[in-house]
Amino acid sequence: MHTDNLEVRTIPPDANGDKSKTQLIREFFEARPNQVISPTEVAVALALDKHVTSTIVHRLETDGALQKAGRGEYIYKKEVDLQAAANIYKQIYRGVAENIGLRAIETMTKMRENDFNQKDPVESIKTLALALQAWFGDEAVRNILMNLEKHADNEKVQALVNEIKAAIQKRS
């Protein structure tokens, strides 16, 4: 448990006004967008029941607001520009297909161009990039991502590219 850098506060019964426990927990994660946090840490920091907190955190993950980062650990899932994510996926897919052929990329990655998952767009792109990394190595995927970075036209797209780069570097 990583409670050393989390602010612990006691919540008087009426202090939160109309905020529900779900809203409090969501805001707790939103305030720490890149921090991996366990339900126990949230419960301690917000002075909530651990079981209730765990249930709410799991529900937030199921609803897509949080992403599982490991066993019993979660991270706030930033909003993704779905159109930009779909375009990135297609750019990577088509770019590689132009160089090695459509059948070859489908065989190697076990993915088709239409396999983009709108529920978890970042995971779709990571899966494609990691499959390509396995076949072509780190340098090829870095080149693809550098090319995408040149066309990153807003913060959300840049954040998406950065997240994919981090996943690839973590696996290297």
Provide the whole-model pTM. Answer: 0.46
Q: Residue 70 forms beta bridges with which residues?
A: 73
pLDDT, tens digit, 9 for 90 and up, residues 109-157: 777 777 777 667 777 777 777 777 787 787 877 777 777 777 666 666 6
* Closest C-alpha among 167, 155, 154, 101 to residue 128: 167
Confirm if 93 and 108 have CB atoms less than 8 A apart.
no
* Closest C-alpha among 3, 12, 2 to residue 47: 12
> Which range among 41-50, 131-140, 163-172 has the greatest average pLDDT?
41-50
Confirm if 141 and 61 have CB atoms less than 8 A apart.
no
Domains of the chain (ranges; CATH) run 3-76 (1.10.10.10), 82-171 (no CATH)
d(CA 19, CA 5): 24
